[in-house]
Amino acid sequence: MDFKFTSRSETDTLLLAQNIESEKFPNMVICLNGELGTGKTVFVKGFAQALGIQETITSPTFNIVKEYTSGELPLYHMDVYRLEEKKDTIGISDYFLKGGVTIIEWGDLLTDLPDERLDLEFRFVDENTRVIIFKPYGKLYEDLCNSVL
């Protein structure tokens, strides 16, 4: 079952991420999909804030992975947009079982994703409004959606 959330501002997106963070668990995987500028990195900022991470969160577009270990759980923030044909052979899946939370921007570009995860699709409505479609894979993620939405 898909779920839907309407964000009318960056603050709404930050609060949504913080609410999802409140349901976090080790080895959580969240894939963020959508056009440039739809709020994917804003979501990661809110999640990181709620984890207690003080560092500035920026998109890891040219780094591929940024690791933040100062929060309640490690946060592995990935951006696979610029990866080409070798995207599934660089060890991204190694992060899925490291006991932290993995958030992948442009996760729909990967084929080697865990069977259980949460996909969020960010869609433009207008300058400030986004519709975020939740696609949970697995009972833990379905329960998370039911708790948060």
What pLDDT does residue 64 have? Answer: 84
What pLDDT does residue 87 have? Answer: 54
Order across the sheet with 130-137: list the strands.
Answer: 3-7, 130-137, 117-124, 28-34, 101-105, 75-79, 65-68
What pLDDT does residue 60 have? Answer: 77
Predicted confidence (pLDDT) per residue in 101-135, tens digit: 999 999 998 888 999 999 999 999 999 999 999 99
Q: Are 32 and 40 in contact (CB under 8 A)?
A: yes
Domains assigned to the chain: 3-148 (3.40.50.300)
What pLDDT does residue 88 have? Answer: 56
> Which segments of the chain have a pLDDT < 70?
84-90
